[in-house]
């Protein structure tokens, strides 16, 4: 049986926290550069050029793209045929602890902001833990770690709605576009819109969040979904919110939808918004 040390996982999580915060993924950067080409208005072009310049400075100086270095989400898929070798200390004696230790080290060594507090007392945990961890056991002997950094300017703008099955594509589309419209300038447009349709309430939200991690190969989309994505994007970009909310053609860089079978009595729809600095990393070991 293949074996891996928990230290290796901790180290990977640490590095991914730092990398995701310093370097925007080339895929998102390309979307921003295309947006710059497509914008016509002076002010919106100016905003996009500052954003692109910001990305250059961040990677050159090795400092975070944005001061909101967010909360960390870790999606980990563990092959059923791999054994993790733990350490004999409380920080590394189980998988969850090992991941949290990686986040702790990443936020300290990478000079990242510690933004996690108790929800009631608002007392800071001082090390940006706990990260939100989702674990899945999958076939094989590999481990896939997907890490997403979520700032709360955009996180605060998300919404979930439990429609009845009477609702159709039109209502879903209206809900998505309305959510973006209400968010306006707050989530740092040009945004990316993640949508989850179906499942249960929690599943819909989780899909919306997962959809924002671009580059996942796992989902083969059917034509109906791609069409809905395209229609939503078109409507959203007619809102004239634009970069920084100062008007323009590019309010969203993309709409990404995931679906899951749901109950005969329901139709959950969740919208999760990412700012332009959609920070994520994926690695398979």
Partner 1 sequence: MDTKIYLPFDTEKFCKLKVGQKVLINGIIYTARDQAHKRIIDRIKKAGLKGKTKDFFDFRNQVIYYTGATPARPGRIIGSAGPTTSYRMDAFTPLLLKYGLKGMIGKGERSVAVREEIKKHRAIYFIAYGGCGALYSKCIIKKESVAYFDLGCEAIYRLNVENFPVIVGIDTKGNDLYEINRKGK
- Binding region for partner 1 (CB under 8 A): 43, 46-47, 50-51, 53-55, 57-58, 61-69, 111-115, 122, 124, 153, 156, 184-186, 188, 240, 242, 244-247, 275-277
Residue placing its CB nearer to partner 1 in the complex, 21 or 259: 21
Nearer to partner 1, 58 or 257 (CB): 58
Q: Minimal distance in Å, beta carbon 30 to partner 1?
A: 17
Please state the closest distance from residue 62 (CB atom) to partner 1, in A.
7
Rounded least distance, CB 166 to partner 1, Å: 32
Least distance between partner 1 and beta carbon 29 (Å): 13
- HSE toward the beta carbon, residue 265, CA cutoff 13 A: 1
Nearer to partner 1, 24 or 76 (CB): 24
Query: Among 17, 5, 256, 8, which Cα is nearest to 146's?
Result: 17
| Residues with Cβ within 8 Å of residue 268, at least 6 apart in sequence | 160, 161, 162, 163, 196, 197, 198, 199, 200, 201, 203, 204, 262
Minimum CB distance to partner 1, residue 151 (Å): 8
Distance (Å, whole) CA 68 – CA 275: 11
How far apart, in whole angstroms, are the C-alpha atoms of residue 285 and residue 273?
Answer: 29
What Rg do the C-alpha atoms of the chain give, in angstroms?
19
Cα–Cα distance for residue pair 210/205, rounded to 1 Å: 9
Closest distance between partner 1 and the C-beta of residue 53, in Å? Answer: 6
Closest approach of partner 1 to the CB of residue 65, in Å = 6
Kind of pairing between the strands at 252-260 and 279-284 = unpaired
Residue closer to partner 1 (CB basis): 5 or 155: 155
Beta strand pairing call for 132-138 and 159-163: unpaired
CA distances from 168 to 158, 197, 268 (A): 21, 12, 12
Residue 182 or 230 with smaller CB distance to partner 1 = 182
Which of 280, 284, 282 is CA-nearest to residue 72?
Answer: 280
**Closer residue to partner 1 in complex, CB, 102/189:** 189
Looking at the Cβ atoms of 66 and 76, the one nearer to partner 1 is 66
């Amino acid at each position: 049986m293949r074996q891996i040390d928990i230290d290796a996982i901790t180290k990977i999580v640490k590095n991914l926290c730092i990398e995701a915060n310093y370097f925007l993924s080339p895929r998102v950067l390309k979307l921003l550069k295309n947006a710059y080409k497509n914008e016509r208005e002076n002010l919106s072009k100016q905003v996009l050029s500052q954003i692109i310049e910001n990305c250059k400075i961040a990677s050159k100086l090795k400092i975070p793209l944005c001061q909101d270095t967010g909360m960390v989400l870790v999606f980990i898929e563990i092959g059923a045929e791999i054994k993790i070798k733990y350490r004999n200390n409380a920080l590394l004696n189980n998988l969850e602890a090992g991941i949290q230790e990686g986040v702790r080290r990443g936020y300290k060594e990478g000079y990242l902001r510690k933004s996690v507090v108790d929800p009631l007392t608002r007392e800071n945990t001082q090390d940006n833990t706990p990260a939100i961890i989702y674990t899945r056991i999958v076939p094989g002997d590999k481990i896939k770690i997907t890490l997403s950094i979520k700032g709360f300017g955009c996180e605060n703008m998300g919404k979930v709605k439990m429609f009845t099955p009477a609702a159709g594509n039109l209502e879903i589309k209206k809900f998505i576009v309305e959510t973006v419209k209400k968010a306006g300038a707050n989530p740092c447009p040009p945004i990316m819109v993640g949508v989850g349709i179906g499942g249960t309430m929690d599943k819909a939200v989780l899909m919306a969040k997962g959809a924002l991690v671009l580059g996942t190969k796992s989902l083969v989309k059917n034509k109906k979904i791609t069409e809905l994505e395209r229609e939503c994007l078109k409507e959203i970009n007619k809102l004239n919110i634009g970069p920084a909310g100062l008007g323009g053609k590019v309010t969203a860089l993309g709409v990404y939808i995931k679906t899951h079978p749901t109950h005969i009595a329901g139709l959950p729809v969740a919208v999760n918004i990412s700012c332009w600095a959609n920070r994520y990393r994926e690695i398979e070991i």
